[in-house]
Chains A and B, each alone.
Chain A
C-alpha cells in the first residue's frame, strides 16, 4: 500500500496492517522533521508534491520491493502539508520472513523515496524565517 496524506499518520494502525502469519520480522521506519543544529531552530517542514506522479513513483518502488526475496508486505505513506517536530512525515514498513531482508529492503525504499519521488520540502524556522 502506498499513500500521500495530509492527515496525521497513525503509525500503530499501519504497523498492524503489516502483520502476517508468515512474517518473522516487521521493520518500521519513521521519518520526522528535526530541530537542526546548523540551520537554527526549525519549527516545522512543509512538504508539497506532484501528487499524481509521486503516487505513481511510490507504487513502482512498492512493486520492486515486493519482488525481493522474502518480502511479504510493504507500506509507504508520506504526509504532505506543514508537519511539526515530533510528528511522522514518512512511514516505511516492511514485513518479511526474516529480519535481514526486511532491514535491507526498508533502507532501499527510503533511499529511493528520497531520490525519485517528486516531493519537496520547505523548512520553517521559529520567528518566520523560511529556508
Chain B
C-alpha cells in the first residue's frame, strides 16, 4: 500500500490530506492514475514535483508499493 500526500493547491481542490491504495510502478504511471481518478487536478499535477519518502524523485522512479509519496505543487516559501 502506498500513501499519497496532498499539499497546497492539490489539497485545496481535493479537500483531502492523503489517500492510500495498492500501487507499484513508476511515478509517471502514478501521476497518470491520479489524473484519471481526479481529473479536477490533472492540469495542476503537470506543475507538481514528486517526493518519495521525503526525497525529491524524477518521474521514472519505480515505486515498490510501500512508500510515502508527496505531490509537491510549486513551492512558495519566503
Q: What is A's interface to B at a CB cutoff of 8 Å?
A: 31, 47-50, 52-54, 56, 78, 89-90, 110, 113-122
Contacts and interface: CB of A to CB of B under 8 A. Distances in A.
Contacts of A90: 77-78
B77 A48 contact: no
Given A53-B51, A120-B7, A47 B70 contact: no
A48 B76 CA distance: 10
24 contacts: A47-B77, A48-B7, A49-B77, A50-B5, A50-B51, A53-B54, A53-B70, A56-B54, A78-B77, A90-B77, A113-B77, A113-B78, A114-B75, A114-B77, A116-B56, A117-B75, A117-B77, A118-B7, A120-B8, A120-B73, A120-B75, A120-B77, A121-B76, A121-B77
B78 A118 contact: no
A113 B76 CA distance: 9
B72 interface: yes
A47 B73 CA distance: 14
B78 A120 contact: no
A31 B75 contact: no
Contacts of B5: 50
**In the complex, which of the residues B9, B73, B77 has the most CB atoms of chain A within 10 Å of its own CB atom?**
B77
B72 A50 contact: yes
Given A48-B7, A53-B54, A120 B70 contact: no
**In the complex, which of the residues A47, A113, A120 has the most CB atoms of chain B within 10 Å of its own CB atom?**
A120
Contacts of A117: 75, 77
